[in-house]
Amino acid sequence: MASSTTADGIEIEKLGDGGDGSSGHGDGGVGGGGFGRSDAAPQRAYVTGMTIALGGVLMFFMALVSAYIVRKGFPNSDWRGLDVPWILWLNTTILIASSFTVARSRNRYVAGDKEGFRHWWAVTAILGCFFLVGQLIAWRELAAAGVYLASNPSSSFFYVFTAAHGLHLLGGIAALGFVGVRASRHLTRGTAIEVASMYWHFMDGLWVFLFMLLVLGK
C-alpha cells in the first residue's frame, strides 16, 4: 500500500491498491486501504471537529472546577476535606501508562506494523478498563466508610468528578474498540487513529488535573 502524508502530519492512505484484492475500497488495515473511501470528507475536518469537541468537554469540567472552588470557599462552610482512596494513585499510574501505549500503537501503525498496532491498541483499551474498575473500587471503599454522594460537599464533588470523567473515558474505550475492529465509510484509518489518540491523551491529562485538585485542594 502506498501512502502519503498531509501538511498537517496525518497519514492518509491511498485507495485502490489495498484491501483483500476484491475491491478498491477494501478494509486492508495497515497493509492496504485502511478505513479510507474516495468519497470521504476532508480528513482534517475530523481532527478539527475533535478539537472543538474537546474544547466543549474542557469547558464543562472547568465549570465543575469553578463550582468546586466557590463552594469550598463559602464562609462558615460545612466543607470537610476528603482523603482520596489509595487506589486512585494506582489508577492514575495506569491511565498515564495508557497514554504511552496508545502513542506506541500509533507509531506501530505509521511504521506499517499491523500486528504491533493492534496489540498496543488493545493494551490501551484494557488499561482503560482497569482504570474504570479501579474507580468503582474507590467508590466501594468510600461507601464502606460511610462516605456517600450527599455526605458532604467535598464527597459530592468527588463522586461528580469521577463519574463525569469515567463516562467520558468509557466513550474513549468504545472509540478504541470501533477503530480497532470496524471499518468506517468516511474516515481513513490514519485519521481515525489520530482522532481517537487525541481524545485519549486529553482524558489522561484531564484526569491528572482532577486528581491533583482532589489531593491538593481538599
| Its pTM surpasses 0.85 | no
Q: Domain 42-75+82-216 is classified in which CATH homologous superfamily?
A: Cytochrome c oxidase, subunit III, four-helix bundle (1.20.120.80)
C-alpha cell at 130: 482497569
Domain limits, the chain: 42-75+82-216
Max intra-chain CA distance, the chain: 73
Contact indicator for 34, 188 with CB cutoff of 8 Å: yes
Q: How many Cβ atoms from other residues are within 10 Å of residue 85's Cβ?
A: 20
Q: How far apart are CA 48 and CA 198, in angstroms?
A: 11
DSSP-derived 3-state class of residue 70: helix
| Each residue's pLDDT tens digit, 44-89 | 888 999 999 999 999 999 999 999 999 888 877 788 888 899 999 9
Give 3-state DSSP helix, strand, coil % of the chain, rounded to 5.
65, 5, 30
What does the pLDDT read at residue 159?
A: 96
| Each residue's pLDDT tens digit, 90-130 | 999 999 999 999 999 999 999 999 999 999 999 999 999 99
